[in-house]
């Protein structure tokens, strides 16, 4: 699948010129799948189409969804971009280090998530990714234009395509992100029920659980095992 399996996900993009320029650079480097989460502009506007030049088909085939989880359905791996320091244990990595990880599962879709032009991704949105990336810039001016950031990442991805001998390796059945999200919801419900979590602190505590499981890169059968344990605990509580 190579680069064709990578989704470029834009959360609430507001600038049609940015969206058009992103479509163009995607075509430059062989990426095909553009997903727009609740866009604040018309991706088929005259401005966007003019900036796309010969990549209009990427705009025309772009998928528009309401929420970030919808954009990530079916993905095995996801990297979120951010320009700010995060108050958790997960490191902020640079593109050259982290982007090859998106291509490690040959034949499996993955996602590279970009936030809004003015404020990036929220903490809640960052929670849906497994790893986090920041493009290093001069401390004199750290803010990058959205289309420029996507361009840098597309180039780095194009330099990270696995060699044929790596592509021929047998790949593990890693759990898709929507399955992990269902597990997190199930786990949070149980922990609230038994009093381990409290409603006012549940979000921050669940962030820690997400970080632990993201580092583990669980396989589908392992998530099924964990969900089975939770169902058995819930049954035991109801029948105690």
The domain tally of the chain equals 2
Which residues, including other chains, have CB under 8 Å from residue 154's CB and lie 6 or more apart? 8, 25, 26, 28, 29, 31
Of 133, 167, 201, the last residue of a domain is 167
Q: Is residue 101 situated within a structural domain?
A: yes
At 82-113, the pLDDT tens digits run: 987 666 667 889 999 999 999 876 678 999 99
DSSP state at residue 92: E
> In 3-state terms, what secondary structure has residue 182?
helix
Statement to judge: residues 185 and 163 lie in one domain:
no
CA 180 distance to own-chain centroid: 13
Task: Please tell me whether residues 143 and 192 are part of one structural domain.
Answer: no
Same domain, yes or no, for 193 and 117? Answer: no
Residue 239 to residue 206: CA distance in whole angstroms: 27
pLDDT (0 to 100) of residue 104: 73
Q: State the average pLDDT for the chain.
A: 89
**pTM for this entry:** 0.77
Do 131 and 32 share a structural domain? yes
Beta-carbon contacts of residue 144 (< 8 Å; ≥ 6 apart): 83, 135, 137, 152
Q: Are residues 13 and 48 in the same domain?
A: yes
CA atoms of 229 and 195, how far apart (whole Å): 18
Report yes or no on 215 lying in a domain: yes
Q: 172 in a domain, yes or no? A: no
CATH number at residue 86: 3.40.1280.10
Query: For residue range 113-150, what is the model confidence (pLDDT) as tens digits?
Result: 999 999 999 989 999 999 999 999 988 888 899 999 99
- On whether both 145 and 53 belong to a single domain, the answer is yes
Residues 138, 196: one domain? Answer: no
* 57 and 143 belong to one structural domain: yes
Same domain, 196 and 142: no
Dihedral, CA of residue 54, residue 12, residue 123 and residue 76, to nearest 10: -50
Specify if 199 maps to a domain.
yes
Q: Are residues 97 and 129 in the same domain?
A: yes
Range 24-31 average pLDDT: 94
Asked whether residue 45 falls in the same domain as residue 144, the answer is yes
Domain with residue 202: its CATH number is 1.10.8.590
Q: Using CA atoms, how far apart are residues 21 and 147, in angstroms rounded to an integer?
A: 6
Q: Which residue has the tokens 């099924």?
A: 224
| Domain, as residue range, for 218 | 177-238
Q: Is residue 229 part of a domain?
A: yes
């Amino acid at each position: 699948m190579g680069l064709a399996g990578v989704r470029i996900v834009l959360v609430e993009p507001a600038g049609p010129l940015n969206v058009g320029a992103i479509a163009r650079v995607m075509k430059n480097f062989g990426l095909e799948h553009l997903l727009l989460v609740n866009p604040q502009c018309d991706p088929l506007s005259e401005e966007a189409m003019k900036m796309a030049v010969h990549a209009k088909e990427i705009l025309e085939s772009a998928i528009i969804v309401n929420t970030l989880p919808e954009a990530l359905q079916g993905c095995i791996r996801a990297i979120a971009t951010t320009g700010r320091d995060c108050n958790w244990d997960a490191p902020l990595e640079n593109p050259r280090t982290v982007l090859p990880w998106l291509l490690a599962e040959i034949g499996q879709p993955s996602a590279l998530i970009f936030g809004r032009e003015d404020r990036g991704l929220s903490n809640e949105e960052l929670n849906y990714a497994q790893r986090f990336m920041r493009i290093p810039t001069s401390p004199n001016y750290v803010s990058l234009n959205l289309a420029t950031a996507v361009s840098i990442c597309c180039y780095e991805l194009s330099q990270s395509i696995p060699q044929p001998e790596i592509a021929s390796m047998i790949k593990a059945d890693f759990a898709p992100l929507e399955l992990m999200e269902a597990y997190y919801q199930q786990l949070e419900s149980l922990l609230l029920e038994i009093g381990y979590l409290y409603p006012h602190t549940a979000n921050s505590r669940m962030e820690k659980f997400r970080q632990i499981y993201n580092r583990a890169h669980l396989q589908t059968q392992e998530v099924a095992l964990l969900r089975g344990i939770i169902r058995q605990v819930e049954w035991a509580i109801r029948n105690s």
